[in-house]
Amino acid sequence: MLTRKQLDLLEFIKRRLERDGVPPSFEEMKDELNLKSKSGIHRLITALEERGFIRRLPHRARAIEVLKMPETGERRGFRPEVIEGGGAEPARRPADARPVTAAEAMELPVMGRIAAGTPIEAISEVSRHVAVPGGMLSGNAQHYALEVHGDSMIEAGINDGDIVVIREQATADNGDIVVALVHEEEATLKRFRRKGGMIALEAANPAYETRLLRDDEVRVQGRLVGLIRSY
């Protein structure tokens, strides 16, 4: 679930809390992780908080509480894990859903679980294969599948545990749901919109705010072309 930088920061905060009873300053975090600016620490702290690993206590300076640590298998190695998206609500079968076996199907690699900071093209490990209706795939384009985790795209009908089928491409039109790499650190599944010189990455869940980023801070890794759900 965590990038190497996120895990390193989480472990550093935990060590300092256990040793001193207070978390390190942002300056100390920056030095520990060899980052050039504290803005990178702000992004890492926000990511850890959104994932439920820490909590910032209001009205108190340098007040951070560690809520949990990753399970042992998640701590090192950084195999592809889960890409953000999906939802936690029980899945309901769409009215037009049909079994994959009823369609002309092709085998597509599922890139297992994608760690949030791993660029798609850097992933080489295939965890398994899934049968995908040929109608989801277009032309000679390359496709891959990812497992979804989280609830940020629930109102787009993308639920926790779904398999999303992604067509590899570096561009997107307004309204497309894409795999986007943010700051070359964090991959996420969001709806893409261009607003002037900025890129908006929109969640499909009112609990999450739209992220507005400069064009050079976002790199499209692929576009959602299909979804597979088990019941």
First to last CA, the chain: 24
Structure tokens at 180: 């986007």
Give the Cα-Cα-Cα angle 147, 153, 159 (nearest 5 degrees). Answer: 50
CA distances to 6, 33, 83 from 11, rounded to whole Å, are 9, 11, 22
Closest CA to 206 of 148, 130, 154: 154
230 is catalytic: no
Closest CA to 193 of 208, 206, 180, 207: 180
Please identify which of the residues 25, 30, 138, 190 carries the catalytic annotation: 190
Q: What is the DSSP letter of 195?
A: E
127 is catalytic: no
Element (H, E) at 33: helix 26-33
Please identify which of the residues 5, 37, 127, 152 carries the catalytic annotation: 152
Element (H, E) at 109: strand 105-110
C-alpha span between 51 and 54 (Å, rounded):
8
Q: Which residues are annotated as catalytic? A: 152, 190
